[in-house]
């Protein structure tokens, strides 16, 4: 029997505001537990939420980018449930009137383009974190994350397989980072999703019973979790049983999904309008300001790169695909004239290094200044491309500037004709057998002589000069 | 010199004339607390801090504000930094807040001295102060009788003359009803007039801070200081605060006062009716005109209130879970057990009852029938008031359908009996309107109160009418003998 998969994703995007959604505490990641916490965040008696408008602007920017309807009046609701890391015993969220309604996002999967519609996106506050394995016999609560603004983006059930789901999340990642709505850091939980997965007989119109896989936080896991879940559901249906509607967790260590304990989700959330907040109204003037300051999106960047930097469309597309790479490129391009060499390095060496270490460029030791300096040193023949690569490795590990490395290690390229000629003379003198063979017609040996010169200069001799002088010498 | 039963205005004069120092005044006030300990109107005292502050004020030669050096008592649901704040509940019996409520902070910044925190119904849920974890408060007029609630401790402390005024909060009548039962003046301002920051929430959309004092004039002084927009409370109103003392003495000739048709006063005890008719006559003598006016939906106030207030309370009180502060049960199995035991041990019966009612009213399948319907009715009630205020300046009702009653005599079998105490007061909370209760005589030697309800943000009109009433009567000057308590 032939089955088809139907997936809808709920994406949680942590908005990159400086302070929390309803308090003035910092949202900085990685601080020691319970330091980014004020009276409001720990839900002390008598405290009240106050609104951080920056979060609304970011949500609206997202809405505009996906062509959604923006609700300029925001009303909040309380979602009531008890959990130790939910300080107030309720989460402030938007139930009936989400700030973003509708819209769509374009994804590319298996070389074809598909449009996925967005149902809605609403603002809500994040909960804190429970830590169960650090104190014997106790659970610990870290409220640093409590109150961090989230935009929950709900897609229509229009995603057909795990690859499309990954493509959707990648498109989402690109969009939210480009819009400066979020830092998109999946490892830190800034971008994560719940996947609603169901299967049905091919061609059937009615949706199958779905399972919701909670809190997936990497592209790899999205693919694996969905693939596992689809197989599991097919197996159940083919054996004549029924899929249970439930919430499941993906365990990456075992590569499987399994049900969450029923206690963790069997809740009547008793939603009702948040009486501590008046409706938040975004004025037409504010809407205009958001529109007027709209950030450049990848497609516009591609066109601009081809025009301004004379890059190929292929290079432009790759560079523009990631906001952090594009920003880095543009910053470096201000300090060098050889844009194509810079682009080559960005797409080649730098990307390879980042992929190998699995880090983002802003997390590395590299700076646009240093990379521009490196390109300039290659461009003005201070060093060769090959030395450039070893300097680059040094830069990656120490963060030193190319000039510092060139100076401290004496890597300046040897271009002085007289100096090189002397070296060549000694190579010819020391290798008279090979010289004879070369003159006999064994022209392959030319490389050997170049190698010897390089060896003597530890690779610093300008290869062009070496070639030129060597050719002249060997003619004689 | 005795300072007992003196108003803020009188104490101000004594201080300014140097007839008494701030320290002496504070010590006298603290002495009275001890003398009338049996009243049980204080939960926690602030002796050291208030004595020190009084000394500082005495040493500072500069003339302060109207409230400088005036001892006040704060209802124990206003958070006070470093001073235990319990809401008269076991669950907060060990809670010392790290911050001070805006309303209290403004009073303290103006130089007033918080001598202690007053007893109340647990989490402000009750109309008799009998739900307090810290025991009943006696009505200064009659031992063994309730002072009303929920601001019962504040009302009793003012009525006994221990402090000239105290803060209170009013969600359904919790300032006005105890003021009426204790023979003092109580003002509930417009919803949003005073910041709720630091006021431990019962029902967010109804809770309003206000004052209990000996005179309307003193209420105006306190309102001047407590009012104003607060960035920390988005529901506080961003409007200019007038000087409420300015219009107190305006003549009230031609003032139009509405009598609400739907409140069938003939059902009330005849003596209570008589007091009401007497006050009406006094106002007529002073030039006011009375009209009967219909508020067709006002009879739905009590059920509407008892759907909305418990719903909000059920959510507001979720944070009392034993995890971060307050009472935590011992020997618990797991997180759920910790919640169940901490909350079962920490909350009293009335609070539990309202959490249950509210949880039910918000549950899936019942939300539309209860909470949502109640909000729709609330809107209708508000519209009724809007309509009424097109033709009248104020509305007048008795504050409470009866006088103070004996401990344990009401609501123990049937809680609804006690809920009806709030019949006349609840609708102004639903509509967010200002209202005041002034004493207007006694029935069976217990005080009764007269309620005036004003239009949105028109506390000036309310205070003006109440002040003129007090200028032309002496009900507010009556004092309990206190002989049963000394």
Hey, how many other C-beta atoms are within 10 angstroms of the C-beta on A423?
20
What's the longest Cα–Cα distance across chain B?
A: 70
Q: What is the pLDDT of residues B272-305, one digit of tens each?
A: 999 999 999 999 999 999 999 999 999 999 999 9
Closest chain B C-alpha to A42 CA, distance in angstroms:
8
Residue partners of B424: CB distance under 8 A and separation at least 6: B173, B263, B397, B398, B399, B400, B401, B451
Q: Domain of B106? A: 1-486
pLDDT of residue A456: 82
Q: What are the chain B neighbours of A277 within 8 Å (beta carbons)?
A: 234-235
Q: What is the pLDDT of residues A339-391, one digit of tens each?
A: 999 999 999 999 999 888 888 888 888 999 999 999 998 888 888 888 889 88
Q: What distances in angstroms separate CA B118 from CA A46, A315, B128, B208, B434, one per listed residue? A: 17, 73, 14, 17, 23
Q: Which residue has the higher pLDDT, B24 or A445?
A: B24
pLDDT of residue A416: 74
pLDDT of residue A92: 98
Phi, psi of B267, rounded to the nearest 5 degrees: -75, -15
B87/A46 Cβ within 8 A: no
User: Hey, what are B35's tokens?
Assistant: 């003398």
- Given CB atoms, is A265 within the 8 Å cutoff of chain B? no
Q: What are the chain B neighbours of A84 within 8 Å (beta carbons)?
A: 321, 323, 335
Q: What is the pLDDT of residues A220-261, one digit of tens each?
A: 999 999 999 999 999 999 999 999 988 899 998 999 999 986
The model's pTM is 0.88
Q: Are B402 and B269 in contact (CB under 8 A)?
A: yes
B199/A89 Cβ within 8 A: no
Nearest to A78 by CA among A277, A265, A217: A277
Residue partners of B475: CB distance under 8 A and separation at least 6: B183, B438, B439, B440, B441, B447
Interface test with B, best of A272, A274, A280 (most B CBs within 10 A): A272
Give every strand in the sheet of B71-75, ordered side by side: B42-45, B113-118, B71-75, B165-169, B209-213, B185-188, B435-443, B446-454, B394-398, B256-260, B289-293
Phi, psi of B156, rounded to the nearest 5 degrees: -65, -40
Cβ burial of B258 (10 Å; 0-12, 13-18, 19+) is buried
- Given CB atoms, is A266 within the 8 Å cutoff of chain B? no
- Counting the structural domains of chain B, the total is 1
Residue A274 pLDDT exceeds 80: yes
pLDDT-above-70 percentage for chain A: 98
| Nearest by CB: B200 against A46, A87, A276 | A46
Residue B397, domain CATH: 3.90.1300.10
Phi, psi of A447, rounded to the nearest 5 degrees: -60, -35
- Given CB atoms, is A137 within the 8 Å cutoff of chain B? no
Confidence class for position B246, pLDDT limits 50, 70, 90: very high
| ipTM, interface predicted TM-score of the complex | 0.95
Q: Which residue has the higher pLDDT, A468 or A216?
A: A216
Q: What are the chain B neighbours of A141 within 8 Å (beta carbons)?
A: 323-324
By DSSP bridging, strand A256-259 and strand A246-251 are: antiparallel
Over residues A17-23, mean pLDDT: 97
CA-based end-to-end distance of chain A: 80
B92/A46 Cβ within 8 A: no
pLDDT of residue A1: 67
Can you give the three-state secondary structure of chain A, one letter per residue?
Answer: CCEEEEEEEEEEEECCCCECCCCCCECCCCCCCCCCCCCCCCCCCCCCCCCCHHHHHHHHHHHHHCCCEECCEECCEEEECCCCCCCCCEEEECCCCCCEECCEEEEEECCEEEEEEEEEEEEEECCCEEEEEEECCEEEEECCCCCCEEEEEEECCCECCHHHHHHHHHHHHHHHHHCCCCCCCCCCCCEEEEEEEEEEECCCCCCCCCEEEEEECCHHHHHHHHHHHHHHHHHHHHCCCCCCCEEEEEECCCCEEEECCHHHCCCCCCCEECCCCCCEECCHHHHHHHHHCCCCCHHHHHHHHHHHCCCCHHHHHHHHHCHHHHHHHHHHHCCCCCHHHHHHHHHHHHHHHHHHHCCCHHHCCCCHHHHHHHHHHHHCCCCCHHHHHHHHHHHHHHCCCHHHHHHHHCCCCECCHHHHHHHHHHHHHHCHHHHHHHHCCCHHHHHHHHHHHHHHHCCCECHHHHHHHHHHHHHC
Q: Are B42 and B129 in contact (CB under 8 A)?
A: no
pLDDT of residue B254: 97
A46/B234 Cβ within 8 A: no
* Rounded Cα distance, A84 and A89, in Å: 8
Q: What is the pLDDT of residues B320-339, one digit of tens each?
A: 999 999 999 999 999 999 99
- Given CB atoms, is A80 within the 8 Å cutoff of chain B? yes
CATH of domain A417-475: 1.10.10.410
Instruction: Return the domain boundaries, chain A.
Output: 3-286, 296-409, 417-475
Instruction: Show the CA angle centred on residue B199, arms to residues B198 and B205, nearest 5°.
Output: 120
* Residue recorded with tokens 């002589």: A449
> For chains A and B, what is the number of CB pairs under 8 angstroms?
105
Residue A216 pLDDT exceeds 50: yes
Nearest to A325 by CA among A349, A360, A376: A360
B315/A78 Cβ within 8 A: yes
- B145 bridge partner residues: B406
Confidence class for position A266, pLDDT limits 50, 70, 90: low
Residue B359 pLDDT exceeds 70: yes
Confidence class for position A263, pLDDT limits 50, 70, 90: very low
* Rounded Cα distance, B214 and B227, in Å: 19
Over residues A304-321, mean pLDDT: 92
A48/B318 Cβ within 8 A: no
- Given CB atoms, is A130 within the 8 Å cutoff of chain B? no
Residue partners of A356: CB distance under 8 A and separation at least 6: none
B95/A141 Cβ within 8 A: no
């Amino acid at each position: 029997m032939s089955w088809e998969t139907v997936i809808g994703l709920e994406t949680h995007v942590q908005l990159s505001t400086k302070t929390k959604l309803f308090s003035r505490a910092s949202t900085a990641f990685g601080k020691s537990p319970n330091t980014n916490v004020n009276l409001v965040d720990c839900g002390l008696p008598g405290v009240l939420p106050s609104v951080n408008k920056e979060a609304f602007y970011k949500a609206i920017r997202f809405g505009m980018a996906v062509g959604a309807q923006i609700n300029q009046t925001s009303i909040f609701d309380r979602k009531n449930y008890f959990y130790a890391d939910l300080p107030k015993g309720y989460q402030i969220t938007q139930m009936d009137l989400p700030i973003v309604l509708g819209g769509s996002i374009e994804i590319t999967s298996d070389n074809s383009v598909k449009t996925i519609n967005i149902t809605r996106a609403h603002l809500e506050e994040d909960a804190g974190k429970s830590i169960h394995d650090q104190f014997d016999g106790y659970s610990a609560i870290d409220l640093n994350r409590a109150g961090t603004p989230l935009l929950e983006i709900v897609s229509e059930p229009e995603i057909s397989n795990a690859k499309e789901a990954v493509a959707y999340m990648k498109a989402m990642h690109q969009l939210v980072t480009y819009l400066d709505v979020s830092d998109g850091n999946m490892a830190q939980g800034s971008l994560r999703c719940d996947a609603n997965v169901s299967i049905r007989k091919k061609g059937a119109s009615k949706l199958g019973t779905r399972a919701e896989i909670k809190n997936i936080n990497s592209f790899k896991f999205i693919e694996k979790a969905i693939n596992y879940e689809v197989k599991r559901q097919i197996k159940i249906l083919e054996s004549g049983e029924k899929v249970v509607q439930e919430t499941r967790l993906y365990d990456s260590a075992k590569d499987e999904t399994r049900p969450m304990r029923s206690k963790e989700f069997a809740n009547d959330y008793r939603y009702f309008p948040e009486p501590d907040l008046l409706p938040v109204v975004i004025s037409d003037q504010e809407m205009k300001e958001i529109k007027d300051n709209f950030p450049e999106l990848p497609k516009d960047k591609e066109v601009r790169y081809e025009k301004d930097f004379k890059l190929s469309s292929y290079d432009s597309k790759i560079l523009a695909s990631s906001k952090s790479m594009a920003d880095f490129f543009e910053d470096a391009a201000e300090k060098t004239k050889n844009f194509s060499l810079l682009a080559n390095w960005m797409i080649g060496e730098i990307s390879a290094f980042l992929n190998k270490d699995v880090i983002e460029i802003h997390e590395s030791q590299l700076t646009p200044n240093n990379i521009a300096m490196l390109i300039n040193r290659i461009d003005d023949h201070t060093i060769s491309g090959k030395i450039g690569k070893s300097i680059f490795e040094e830069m990656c590990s120490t963060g030193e500037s190319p000039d510092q490395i060139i100076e401290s290690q004496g890597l300046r390229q040897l271009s002085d004709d007289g100096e090189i000629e002397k070296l060549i003379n000694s190579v010819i003198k020391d290798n008279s057998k090979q010289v004879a063979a070369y003159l006999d017609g064994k022209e392959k040996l030319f490389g050997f002589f170049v190698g010897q010169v390089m060896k003597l200069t530890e690779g610093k001799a300008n290869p062009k000069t070496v070639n030129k002088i060597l050719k002249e010498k060997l003619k004689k | 010199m005795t300072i007992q039963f003196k108003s803020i205005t009188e104490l101000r004069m004594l201080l300014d004339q140097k007839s008494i120092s701030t320290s002496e005044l504070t010590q006298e006030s603290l002495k009275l607390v001890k003398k009338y300990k049996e009243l049980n109107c204080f939960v926690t005292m602030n002796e050291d801090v208030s004595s020190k502050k009084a000394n500082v004020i005495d040493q500072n030669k500069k003339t302060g504000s109207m409230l400088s050096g005036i001892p006040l008592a704060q209802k124990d649901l206003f958070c006070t930094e470093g001073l235990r704040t319990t809401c008269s509940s076991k669950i907060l019996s060990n809670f010392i807040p790290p911050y001070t409520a805006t309303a209290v902070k403004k009073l303290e910044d103006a130089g007033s001295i918080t001598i202690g925190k007053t007893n109340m119904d647990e989490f402000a849920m009750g109309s008799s102060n009998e739900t307090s974890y810290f025991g009943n408060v006696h009505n200064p007029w009659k031992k063994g009788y309730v002072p009303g609630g929920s601001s019962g401790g504040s009302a009793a402390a003012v009525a006994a003359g221990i402090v000239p005024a105290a803060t209170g909060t009013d969600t359904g009548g919790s300032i006005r009803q105890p003021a009426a039962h204790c023979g003092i003046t109580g003002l509930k301002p417009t919803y949003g007039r005073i910041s709720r920051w630091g006021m431990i929430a019962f029902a967010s959309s109804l809770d309003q801070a206000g004052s209990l004092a000996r005179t309307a004039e003193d209420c105006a002084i306190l309102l001047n200081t407590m009012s104003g927009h607060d960035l920390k409370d988005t529901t506080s109103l961003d409007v200019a605060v007038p000087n409420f003392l300015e219009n107190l003495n305006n003549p009230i000739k031609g003032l139009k006062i509405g009598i609400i048709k739907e409140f069938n006063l003939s059902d009330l005890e005849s003596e209570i009716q008589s007091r009401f008719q007497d006050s009406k006559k006094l106002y007529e003598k002073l030039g006011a005109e009375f009209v009967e006016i219909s508020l067709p939906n006002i009879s739905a106030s009590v059920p509407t209130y008892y759907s909305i207030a418990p719903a909000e309370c059920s959510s507001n009180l979720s944070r009392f879970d034993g995890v971060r502060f307050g009472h935590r049960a011992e020997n618990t199995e797991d997180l759920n057990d910790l919640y169940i035991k901490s909350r079962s041990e920490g909350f009293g019966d009335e609070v539990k009852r309202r959490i249950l009612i509210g949880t039910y009213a918000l549950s899936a399948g019942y939300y539309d029938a209860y909470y949502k319907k109640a909000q729709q009715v609330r809107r209708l009630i508000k519209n009724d008031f809007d309509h009424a205020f097109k033709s009248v300046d104020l509305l007048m009702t008795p504050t409470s359908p009866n006088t103070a009653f004996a401990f344990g005599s009401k609501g123990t079998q049937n809680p609804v009996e006690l809920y009806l105490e709030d019949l006349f007061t609840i609708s102004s909370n639903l509509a967010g309107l200002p209202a005041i209760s002034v004493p207007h005589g006694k029935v069976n030697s217990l005080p009764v109160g007269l309620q005036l309800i004003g239009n949105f943000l028109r506390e000036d009109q309310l205070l003006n009418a109440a002040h003129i009433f007090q200028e032309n009567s002496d009900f507010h000057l009556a004092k309990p003998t206190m002989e049963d308590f000394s």
